A and B are shown apart, each in its own frame.
Chain A
């Protein structure tokens, strides 16, 4: 009795209404919601940019934009999608679900959590403002170097590069704050009885991610800071004239950049097995093996960076080392794939939208992973490098492996978060449209790359025309079908059929013991895990 009144009282106490609620909130669910909303908005912004590119590439010749504007679009698209869409989406889920999954009342450092989020909108503005101004003919636009900032091109570039550098600083601080919070939450706030080796997979995925983030984001921050001083304060970190070396930047950048791939993917690898066990109605297979595989991937991810620039002229021993260590990443991944499929094996599967996305995810991410294995080969990489083959490869890992995974998570947890069931028919339609148009967009790009089309070119030779046209048409279908998703999510938030507490027949875990939607303050008394 007394606890319910306390909870009731609380709910009144920290519920400022209107905008102040969101500005000052320290509640993990509010912050999680803000992260997810922000990610969705930026996903649409980044998507609109790439549709501009695909429209330009629809046929040979420049019809819509100048090459310089094209270069801005590709770079900002990548930065927006990686830093402002995928990472915040994963952080949003972490905020929403980690406390619920480990039986904690909230995140460990709630105020830090609030700051972490509110750094994002200003950095998104820094990222997109110069570009938007350029649309109206003001200024010389955003960074036109691609998201990789390679000097000397980025030293040569206009003020857009500075904007992007500051945006990356803010985004980096935000992710570091978020990661510290998650690490502390996972170490200090677990329910009594929940040992580390009993944590849900999602929590494990995030724990590794968070450590990778705090170890590598500062390296990126350092690298872009050096770039900034090279641009404005006469240092020569990356300038051969002063004894510097442009290739050093590539080492620094990819020392962050490669772990970044796993930063984006590990949270997804965390909830994929949870979804699989729910819809297979069978406990997940090889929990320990998966945890060890996560550790293995986390460790390998920081020692393989140079495979992003095999053609930069590394000595043979370095080439061999980076080739073999890159191939080694396939070993823990093979274990993960095996465990995922073994979880489905002899289960009693049903295919609601989250499961559809998960199964599609396994297949498409598999293609991304296997082409990655081929890319590890140094000799053939001379051909693949910076061609459309690479573009297709990393969209299989980051769109299929990242975004489609996140979408599986959204459909899986949305009923829990909102208390309403989403529209199942629309969800399935969204899946099929996404999966088919995604493949039609990117399979042609594999062939474009093999035929010799370099990436980041605004116009192309005529032998590339057919595949580009198919790719562009499919990209528009892919983009437009995401509007179904937006509509579905919004109408689910607004209302719909009530969801049960457990939502899914086979759901297991602490989050499903709470009502749907969970009260503003959940687990004020911690549950005990046996």
Chain B
């Protein structure tokens, strides 16, 4: 009688242990899921940035020219500025500090880079736009920032940027800034 109830109890404990392990393993799925989620956030963040201009990121590939409808009712001032990051022996600056554009109108502006070292040096330009909500509306057709640039010792290169400001740009944005930071691209990506 006593032994029987003990046996029952043991099998009850065993059954319970098994159930515990099962549930525990199920929980591990949640852990794995959120780990995947963490890494998935990296591309998701980029997508979000591209869509909303969050953090002033612009699209890093060429966009198609819009239909040539130009919004002639307003002007937008686009300011240009540049930084050369430590480790890159270049001079780099925009040839014009700002221009006024009509939304929809394709414009070309020039940037000049010069390698002041006695080596061949590659650099990568990273664009950034402020205010954030304007970033998604700055469409580049042709840009030196799409790929790495390489300059021979002492070489000067005038680099064009062809872009337009999309007509969907919110009405209250009248001034925006496009900044390029040139980083040394010594270590290949």
Contacts and interface: CB of A to CB of B under 8 A. Distances in A.
B41 interface: yes
Interface string B58-74: 00100000000000000
Nearest to A210: B27
Interface stretch (B49-57, B111-119, B150-158): B49-57
B97 to A, nearest CB: 22
Contacts of A251: 41, 45
A4 interface: no
Interface residues of A, number: 42
B2 A219 contact: no
Interface in B137-188: 181, 183-185, 187
A222 B38 contact: yes
B106 interface: no
Interface in A216-268: 216-219, 221-223, 226, 234, 236-237, 240-243, 245, 247-248, 251-252, 255
B187 A214 contact: no
Contacts of B19: 188
Interface in A303-360: 313-316, 318
B42 A248 contact: yes
B42 A315 contact: no
A66 B64 CA distance: 55
Given A187-B23, A313-B132, A176 B31 contact: yes
B27 A180 contact: yes
B56 A240 contact: no
Given A215-B34, A216-B34, A243-B126, A108 B42 contact: no
A428 B71 CA distance: 75
Given A2-B2, A252-B41, A315-B53, A234 B187 contact: yes
A492 interface: no
A109 interface: yes
A181 interface: yes
Given A313-B132, A315-B53, A184 B20 contact: yes
A241 B55 contact: no
Contact of A240 (B53, B130, B183, B185): B183
A109 B24 contact: yes
A223 B131 CA distance: 27
A214 B42 contact: no
Contacts of A314: 54-55, 132
A44 interface: no
Nearest to A256: B38
Interface in B31-50: 31-32, 34-35, 37-39, 41-42, 45, 49
A181 B9 CA distance: 22
A514 interface: no
B110 interface: no
B181 A240 contact: yes
Contacts of A237: 42
Size category of the binding interface on chain B: 35 or more
A183 interface: yes
B120 interface: no
B27 A183 contact: yes
Contact of B56 (A187, A218, A313): A313
B30 A215 contact: yes
A152 B82 CA distance: 20
Contacts of A315: 52-54, 131-133
B38 A252 contact: yes
A248 B49 CA distance: 10
Nearest to B29: A214
A470 interface: no
Given A180-B28, A219-B38, A222-B35, A108 B187 contact: no
A113 to B, nearest CB: 11
Contacts of A184: 20, 23-24, 27
B126 A108 contact: no
Contact of A221 (B38, B56, B130): B38
A469 interface: no
Given A180-B24, A218-B38, A315-B54, A248 B60 contact: no
Nearest to A234: B187
A362 B45 CA distance: 39
A422 to B, nearest CB: 35
Contacts of B52: 315
Most buried by B among A108, A179, A234, A255: A108
Nearest to A108: B20
Most buried by A among B31, B41, B181: B31
B126 A240 contact: yes
A214 B132 contact: no
A181 B57 contact: no
Contacts of B49: 245
Nearest to B133: A315
Interface of A: 2, 108-109, 112, 176, 179-181, 183-184, 187-189, 211, 214-219, 221-223, 226, 234, 236-237, 240-243, 245, 247-248, 251-252, 255, 313-316, 318
Given A240-B181, A245-B49, 20 more contacts: A2-B2, A108-B20, A180-B27, A181-B24, A183-B23, A188-B19, A189-B16, A214-B31, A222-B39, A237-B42, A240-B126, A240-B183, A241-B124, A241-B185, A242-B189, A245-B55, A252-B41, A255-B41, A314-B132, A315-B52
Complex A-B, nearest 3 residue pairs according to Cβ-Cβ distance, in ascending order: A222-B38, A241-B183, A218-B35
6 contacts: A214-B30, A217-B31, A234-B187, A243-B60, A313-B132, A315-B132
